[in-house]
Structure 1
Amino acid sequence: MQIKDVLLVPGNGAFFYDDQEAIRSGAIQDGFIYVGAPITPGFKSIRIPASSLSVGLVLTDDTVVWGDMMNVQYSGAGGRDPLFDTNQISDLTSRVVAPRLLDVDASRFRGSCTDVLEALERRLPLAVEYGVSQALLRAAAHLQRKTMAEIICGEFNLPLPKHRVPIYCQSGDAREINVDKMILKGVDVLPHGLINSRQKFGVDGQTFMDFVKWVATRTRQIGRPGYNPVLHFDVYGWIGQEIGLEPQRIADFICKVADTVPGFTLNVESPADFGSTHAQIENYAEIVSILDNRNSGARIVVDERCNTLEDVRLFAEAKAAHLVQIKTPDVGSVADTARAVLICKENKVGAYVGGSCTETDLSAQASVHVSVATQADMMLAKPGMGVDEAFSIVGNEQNRLLAILNRRRAQNEKVG
């Protein structure tokens, strides 16, 4: 057996865990903190530093391969796992997961994930699945002397990819400065916008619409000639919160926004939260149908209520989004992230490999390999909210990977 020891090391996520319910309920920002009492269980304050837990697999040649566990920024919201507790997760991993890791064939990625992450009475926390599967993917890559992307391609019978995956950056609260950064760096999809409060959305959505128009204008002002990014805004359910949960009215509003930025593709993420996965699917499918019948330039992106692989399958099969965010820590195993992309493709729905600002460099790099191997439609620049760091980590990893794959392909063609 190739794994002889397991290391667990507490660490930091790249941003903060936030109590979404408290923020939606009107918590006021004071500098970088939010004032008031938390609402979501597990939160001792509305904003707390993100924590992580690294799992290191010590292989028989004494190489150590790593994966990182963490939860998403808005933990405990929208049907997600509760707030990440490093001590609880470490204890569970030591007792339940570590003994399994010592008994698997680590050169078989999917097989080892199945053996190690198998549920007993209930499923393991998704953060555990996420971090352990990253480490197992790196172990298989090391043992087979391949890239992580090649392991995914081999396990899922996919051809070696040739094309880069578009990168999407998120702005955080420093919207204007970070939009300028994104435009100057030629980001493919921008800016996220963090429209997560009534103040940012505005009465009848006017503040949001003004911001959309400003981003489009700014792109034309300072972008290079011919630069035409996709405009992607996450509104955290505020269209539904402000104008009501009637699909026709939501679709009308989205069309109105799209009409203000002609020449751009407009992605609207999380237009409303209908309270359950079933209701979300039913109503999002109606909104998508209305937009399609109007030949609108707007696309609906689902996030909340679409967490696990099974959720992704349900949304994709129902055509309840134009683009599904596969939010990697919420999906769990990175093998399931790969499966989720392929399910979206089978159903002709866009696949966006996302995640959270709370992640780490290691989880971001693993996500790049899965995204490129499966040829997702776009992937998130992560971790953090600073643009520069995340765009560098994800973009450089993709460029290095494609260079290796191109060389590998040329070698194969020479031998063939």
Structure 2
Amino acid sequence: MQITDVLLAPGNGAFFYDDQEAIRSGAPQDGFIYVGAPTTPGFKSIRIPASSLSVGLVLTDDTIVWGDMMNVQYSGAGGRDRLFDTAQISDLTSRVVVPRLLDVNASQYLEACATVLQPHENKRLPLAIEYGVSQALLRAAAHLHRATMAEIVCTEFNLPLPTRRVPIYCQSGDAREINVDKMILKAVDILPHGLINSRQKFGVDGQTFMAFVKWVATRTREIGRPGYHPVLHFDVYGWIGQEIGLDPQSIADFICRVADAVPGFMLNIESPADFGSTQAQIENYAKIVSILDNRESRARIVVDERCNTLEDIRLFAEAKATHLVQIKTPDVGSIADTARAVLICKENNVGAYMGGSCTETDLSAYASVHVSVATQADMMLAKPGMGVDEALSIVGNEQNRLLAMLSRRRAQKENVG
């Protein structure tokens, strides 16, 4: 077998794990921390430094390939896995996953994932384990075939080698104004996220949010290079529903007013409301999408909460309950399922946004780039972390390197042919 040993190494995620429910309930900020008692199980404080666990596969030629396990920023919220526990994940990986890895054909990627990541004691493995191990297996297959990770994905899913770059979306975190300026100066394709995750940031009847949207549009025109015309994408963490109510018509009316305030820009609104369950989310988001489409609005809905797993993504896509799906990679689990999720979206004419979390690592970001480009997602998140420069550098540079390699590969094949 190609895997002779497995290494585990604890590490840091690039941001923090946050108790979304406590923040949504009004926990005040004191500098960078949130004050008050946590409410989501597993949290000992509202904001906790993100942790990760690297899994290294030692191959027969002594090459070691790695993948990183972690959870998303708002762990335990919206139907997601509990807060990441390094000791627990390490123990389960050592006892259950490592023996499987040592007895698998790592050159067959999808087959290896299916074997190694099968349920344990009739329960699915923690999604963090699926995510990290599937990254490592993808790197192993790429090494064994002397190919890029993107080429392995293309081969396994019978996809052509891609030629198109995937538009990159940056997120601002709380340093909104400074980071928006950075994004504009660097001509980011899609911006700015905004982190509208509290009543204070959304404002009474959404007035604070509306003012911020207008400011971003104005600032783009003021300091952007000639011809620069990004998509405006705001994550409101359910606050339209929280502040205005859960009536789909009222939510759609508000979104249309926001779009009308920034004429000429395409507007993405992520997580406009949380209706409490996946089924309720599908039913009500489908109504919002229908209203916006009938009005020929320039606004698009992006689903995040309550759309976590591959099956969730399939349900939303088939029901046309969103314009774009945020495929939040650690929540999907195996990165092979992330590829499947993009293809499901495409089959149903729904936009595929290869997302993830600020809590991820450089390694998980690199793997995400390869899957995103291979499947030709409609957009992908600059990650990890909440800083613009680092995430854009990691994701953007890897995409450019990958496209250069794929271009050379195509030329080699043409010459041979």
Same structural fold, with TM-score higher than 0.5 when normalized by the shorter chain: yes
| TM-score bin, normalised by smaller chain | over 0.9
Inter-partner Cα distance in structure 2 for 1:413 and 1:119:
43
**Could you tell me which residue of structure 2 aligns to residue 89 of structure 1?**
89
Would you say 1:374 and 2:375 are equivalent positions?
yes
SS in structure 1 at match of 2:219 = helix
**Could you tell me which residue of structure 2 aligns to residue 305 of structure 1?**
306
Deviation of 1:24 (Å): 0.3
Q: Identity of counterpart residues, as a percentage?
A: 87
Deviation of 1:414 (Å): 1.0
Q: Give 2:163's aligned amino acid.
A: K
Inter-partner Cα distance in structure 2 for 1:394 and 1:308:
23
**Could you tell me which residue of structure 1 aligns to residue 317 of structure 2?**
316
Inter-partner Cα distance in structure 2 for 1:292 and 1:214:
26
1:192-251, Cα deviation, whole Å (9 max, x unpaired) = 000000000000000000000000000000000000000000000000000000000000
Inter-partner Cα distance in structure 1 for 2:147 and 2:18:
38
**Could you tell me which residue of structure 2 aligns to residue 128 of structure 1?**
129
Inter-partner Cα distance in structure 2 for 1:250 and 1:413:
53
Inter-partner Cα distance in structure 2 for 1:30 and 1:118:
44
**Could you tell me which residue of structure 1 aligns to residue 289 of structure 2?**
288
Inter-partner Cα distance in structure 1 for 2:387 and 2:354:
19
Summarize the alignment of residues 131-170 of structure 1 with structure 2, pairs less than 5 Å apart.
Answer: 131-170=132-171
Normalising to structure 1: TM-score of the pair? 1.00
**Could you tell me which residue of structure 2 aligns to residue 389 of structure 1?**
390
Inter-partner Cα distance in structure 2 for 1:372 and 1:67:
19
**Could you tell me which residue of structure 1 aligns to residue 194 of structure 2?**
193
How many residue pairs match? The answer is 416
Q: After the TM superposition, which segments of 4 or more aligned residues of structure 1 sit over 2 Å from their partners?
A: none
Deviation of 1:409 (Å): 0.4
SS in structure 2 at match of 1:65 = strand
Inter-partner Cα distance in structure 1 for 2:326 and 2:227:
28
Would you say 1:56 and 2:60 are equivalent positions?
no
Inter-partner Cα distance in structure 1 for 2:194 and 2:230:
15
1:113-148, Cα deviation, whole Å (9 max, x unpaired) = 000000131000000000000000000000000000
1:351-403, Cα deviation, whole Å (9 max, x unpaired) = 00000000000000000000000000000000000100000000000000000
Inter-partner Cα distance in structure 2 for 1:391 and 1:241:
32
Q: Give 2:368's aligned amino acid.
A: S
Q: CA RMSD in A?
A: 0.3
Inter-partner Cα distance in structure 2 for 1:48 and 1:14:
12
**Could you tell me which residue of structure 1 aligns to residue 115 of structure 2?**
115
**Could you tell me which residue of structure 2 aligns to residue 36 of structure 1?**
36
Q: Give 1:133's aligned amino acid.
A: S
SS in structure 1 at match of 2:57 = strand
SS in structure 2 at match of 1:236 = coil
Q: Give 2:369's aligned amino acid.
A: V
1:163-207, Cα deviation, whole Å (9 max, x unpaired) = 000000000000000000000000000000000000000000000
Inter-partner Cα distance in structure 1 for 2:19 and 2:332:
20
SS in structure 2 at match of 1:209 = helix
Q: Give 1:115's aligned amino acid.
A: T
Q: Give 1:42's aligned amino acid.
A: G
**Could you tell me which residue of structure 1 aligns to residue 213 of structure 2?**
212
Q: Give 2:204's aligned amino acid.
A: V
Q: Give 2:69's aligned amino acid.
A: M
Q: Give 1:251's aligned amino acid.
A: A
1:307-354, Cα deviation, whole Å (9 max, x unpaired) = 000000000000000000000000000000000000000000000000
SS in structure 1 at match of 2:143 = helix
Unaligned runs of 5+ in 2: none
Would you say 1:345 and 2:346 are equivalent positions?
yes
**Could you tell me which residue of structure 2 aligns to residue 99 of structure 1?**
99
Q: Give 1:298's aligned amino acid.
A: A
1:12-58, Cα deviation, whole Å (9 max, x unpaired) = 00000000000000000000000000000000000000000000000
1:70-116, Cα deviation, whole Å (9 max, x unpaired) = 00000000000000000000000000000000000000110000000
SS in structure 2 at match of 1:56 = strand
SS in structure 1 at match of 2:53 = strand
Normalising to structure 2: TM-score of the pair? 1.00
Unaligned runs of 5+ in 1: none
Inter-partner Cα distance in structure 2 for 1:189 and 1:381:
10
**Could you tell me which residue of structure 2 aligns to residue 254 of structure 1?**
255
Inter-partner Cα distance in structure 2 for 1:261 and 1:304:
26
Inter-partner Cα distance in structure 2 for 1:324 and 1:48:
27
Inter-partner Cα distance in structure 1 for 2:168 and 2:38:
33
